[in-house]
Structure 1
Amino acid sequence: MITVALAAALRDAGLRWHPTTGDRFVIDKPGVDDDVYTVSEMTVERHDYPSGTVLGFNGTTEWALDSVDAAESLWLPREDQLRDLLGPAFVSLTKSGSDFVVTAVVGGTSQEFGAPGAADAYGGALHAYIRSALD
């Protein structure tokens, strides 16, 4: 799972979230951003309204929450989602020592992005890819 800091950097770079079953997220507020939630038809359910998307909490573990606006949530994309978002820019994932290294074509050149976890390596590559697309 990627770090909250990397997820925030991806969001701030322009990555948008359209909640779907299986997605993980934190509530983007101090003091409650340590708990990771999963969108599920049984526990956290997505509700689309004209005013925006709301994530409804229906299970006993989230008894203190009724719902939270998706804009107040921070998506923690999975490794497979990050790889899919890289699309054709993705070249490879390898292991180098204790790090995972993602090679991706960013701004027309092949670049490497290393991190202790594969998801963070993908996230770093995606962050650079999004930023290069904005330049």
Structure 2
Amino acid sequence: MISQHLAEALRDAGVRWQPAAGDRFVIPQPELAGELFTLSEMTIEARDYPTGTILGFNGTTEWAMDSVAQDDTLWMPREDQLRELLGGAFIGLTRSAVDPLDGDEAVRYTVTLQTPSGGVTEHVAQAAADAYALAVLALVDLAVGERST
């Protein structure tokens, strides 16, 4: 699963979320730290109103909340959702072993992208989801750079 730090970076970079069944999110409040929620028509559903999207908790007696505004949540995208955001820029994902004698984690994941200028970039992390998130952030940075020139 993507780290909360990278999920915050995606949100702050302008990556938008249209809630759908199966999506995961957190509510960044100290009393809910570590709680991961999943949208489902049975328990948590997205309700669209003119004022914004509300995530309604249906029949969840263990929680003292009926709903939460989407703006008060943080989307935790899955690998497939991040890969979809990469679109045609996505070349591939590779997994490589790192020498454990170096004191590093034993595995690294690399997402390779084709940039709009025809170049290739690589984005490396210890988890595949985080490598995808880093690649999405790089694409956003490239797009913002192109718009400002």
The Cα of 1:29 is off from its aligned counterpart by: 2.8
Match of 1:71 in 2: 71
TM-score, length basis structure 1: 0.94
Unaligned runs of 5+ in 2: 98-106
2:84 is the counterpart of 1:84: yes
The Cα of 1:107 is off from its aligned counterpart by: 5.2
For residue 80 of structure 1, give the secondary structure of its aligned residue in structure 2.
helix
Structure 1 pair 62/54, CA: closer, same or farther in 2 (3 Å)? Answer: farther
- Could you list the structure 1 runs, at least 4 aligned residues long, displaced by more than 4 angstroms after superposition: none
- Aligned CA RMSD, in angstroms, stands at 1.3
- Show the 5 A alignment for 1:36-55: 36-55=36-55
The Cα of 1:116 is off from its aligned counterpart by: 1.4
Match of 1:15 in 2: 15
Looking at structure 2, the residues matched to 123 and 103 of structure 1 have their Cα atoms a distance apart, in angstroms, of 12
- Show the 5 A alignment for 1:1-135: 1-60=1-60, 62-97=62-97, 98-106=107-115, 108=117, 109-135=119-145
Residue 57 of structure 1 aligns to which amino acid in structure 2?
F
Where is the strand percentage greater, Structure 1 or Structure 2? 1
Unaligned runs of 5+ in 1: none
Residue 92 of structure 2 aligns to which amino acid in structure 1?
S
Looking at structure 2, the residues matched to 7 and 62 of structure 1 have their Cα atoms a distance apart, in angstroms, of 26
Structure 1 pair 31/106, CA: closer, same or farther in 2 (3 Å)? Answer: farther
* Structure of larger gyration radius: 2
Number of positions where the alignment pairs a residue of Structure 1 with one of Structure 2: 135
The Cα of 1:72 is off from its aligned counterpart by: 0.5
